[in-house]
């Protein structure tokens, strides 16, 4: 195995992204979403004067969704690989599959972090220090890596990937309800790892942060297991 292989992998991914109009659009989509929401924010505050009390929760959701859009780009590159059946070829290369996946997940994580971090910086509605922004962006971007694994495990092609994406976007926003209702069923949302990210940002507490990291770690393990099972 050569370290330069990673450079070729990256070069290859960039080529695949820039030669696909949909993927190219997805690289700017988070920025359009962020700037659009930022422009709409004053109107929302006018309509809902208590909205600023939930700025942290809002940032958590926007940070997570922005990160997910970053993760989706890599997920779609991987779904293209599934469509083209090239994973089989990579499996007969002198390059361990776990390193290939580690590269892909790190890239997805990095891309997600950039988008989450950008979202937090561009909104700039909470008095977070740079370190806090980095830390919260890391928390938000965890979800993208986990969801990438689930997406490439369950979707066999890009069309199924888009369906998965639509469903996931709904589930991503759903746990927000738990912060506004006081009924027993709000605890159902605790099964979603990203719920704990929202909680850790809205109600800062080391325990919620730990649960967020741990639950994402468990979900990552399940996702990776499923991915291996599906690719064998």
Partner 1 sequence: MITVQDLIYSYPKSENPTVKSVSFEVKEGEIFGFLGPSGAGKSTTQKVLTKLLKNYEGEIFIKNKNSKKELREWKSDYYNQIGVGFELPNHYSKLSALENLQFFASFYELDKQNLNQKLMQLLESVGLAKDAKKKVQDFSKGMKMRLNFVRALIHNPPILFLDEPTSGLDPVNGKIIKDIILNLKKEGKTIILTTHHMTDAEQLCDRVAFMVEGKIPLIDSPKNLKEKYGQRLLKVEYSQKEGTNRQNQFFELETLAQNEEFLKLINQNYIQSMHTQEATLEDIFIEVTGKKLI
CB of 2 to partner 1, least distance (A): 6
- Give Rg (Cα) of the chain: 18
Q: Pick the closer one to partner 1 by CB: 42 or 94.
A: 94
**What is the length of the chain?**
232
- Contact footprint for partner 1 (CB under 8 A): 1-2, 4-5, 8-9, 12, 15-16, 19-20, 80-81, 83-86, 88-96, 232
Q: Pick the closer one to partner 1 by CB: 10 or 214.
A: 10
CB of 169 to partner 1, least distance (A): 26
Q: Pick the closer one to partner 1 by CB: 81 or 145.
A: 81
* DSSP string across 128-182: --HHHHHHHHHHHHHHHHHHHHHHHHH-SSHHHHHHHHHHHHHHHHGGGGGGT--
Cβ atoms of residues 52 and 128 within 8 Å: no
CB of 28 to partner 1, least distance (A): 19
Cβ atoms of residues 57 and 202 within 8 Å: yes
CB of 93 to partner 1, least distance (A): 4
Q: Pick the closer one to partner 1 by CB: 12 or 156.
A: 12
**3-class secondary structure, 89:** helix
Distance of CA 9 to the CA centre of its chain: 21
CB of 193 to partner 1, least distance (A): 29
């Amino acid at each position: 195995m050569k370290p330069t292989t990673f450079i070729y992998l990256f070069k290859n991914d960039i080529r695949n992204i820039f030669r696909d109009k949909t993927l190219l659009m997805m690289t700017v989509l988070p920025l359009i979403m962020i700037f659009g929401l930022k422009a709409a924010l004053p109107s929302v505050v006018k309509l809902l004067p208590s909205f600023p009390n939930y700025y942290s929760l809002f940032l958590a959701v926007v940070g997570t969704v922005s990160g997910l859009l970053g993760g989706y780009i890599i997920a779609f590159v991987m779904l293209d690989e599934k469509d083209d059946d090239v994973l089989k070829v990579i499996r007969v290369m002198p390059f361990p599959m776990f390193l290939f996946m580690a590269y892909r997940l790190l890239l997805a994580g990095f891309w997600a972090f950039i988008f989450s971090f950008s979202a937090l910086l561009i909104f700039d509605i909470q008095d977070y220090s740079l370190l806090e922004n980095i830390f919260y962006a890391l928390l938000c971007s965890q979800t993208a890596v986990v969801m990438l694994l689930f997406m490439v495990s369950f979707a066999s092609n890009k069309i199924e990937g888009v369906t998965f994406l639509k469903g996931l976007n709904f589930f991503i926003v759903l746990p927000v309800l738990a912060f506004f209702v006081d009924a027993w069923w709000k605890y159902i949302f605790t099964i979603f790892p990203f719920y704990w990210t929202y909680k850790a940002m809205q109600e800062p507490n080391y325990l919620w942060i730990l649960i967020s990291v741990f639950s994402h770690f468990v979900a990552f393990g399940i996702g990776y297991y499923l991915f291996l099972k599906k690719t064998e």
